[in-house]
Amino acid sequence: MKNKIFLAFLLLTPILVVTFSSIYFTLGLSPEGTKNNGVFFKSYFNFDQFNNVKNEKLIEFEDGKWVMSVYITDISKSKESLYLMRQLNVALNRDIYRVKRVAFFSNSRLKSEIDNLILDYPRTELVNDKNGVLINVLQKNSTLDMFQENPIFIIDPYGRAVMYFNPGTDPKKILKDLKVLI
């Protein structure tokens, strides 16, 4: 009889745990907030859908690297983001080669200024989004004005946009998120 009670206890324990946790969650008693410091995009979008004028992909994801990127619309604000991306990349230490930096732009009038800016940030790939579709999708899926703020956003190795960081976010918190992601 003692073994049957013990056996019933063993069999019912996982069922009770799953049942109570499901009830707890559906009643709205789930954990508050998240541990990430970035902001997730409103809806899922993949970078494979964006092509340039020659109908080639804007960026390739065959190397399996995460992408830290910024869309340059304002030179001064994007300069801050590019500097922060470089500092974060250096701070990643041994994971430095698992991340690449990319700067997107579509305004051809800023091309010479952007070229001069990128010279200060080696190992940053510059991608021309000539038709400007990417910035519109970024704007539609964020709560931030991407045209004004030029925040850093993260793309996973499969080409899915993951999150962006509001301007003024503590770089240590951004680094913490990057270490978790990578």
What's this model's pTM, rounded to 2 decimal places? 0.77
Q: What is the CATH number of domain 39-181?
A: 3.40.30.10
Q: What is the mean pLDDT of residues 140-148?
A: 90
**Contacting residues for 79 by C-beta, under 8 A, at least 6 apart:** 117
How far is Cα 85 from Cα 151, in angstroms, rounded to an integer? 10
pLDDT digits (tens, 9 = 90+) for 91-110: 988 888 889 999 999 888 88
pLDDT in tens, 78-90: 999 999 999 998 8
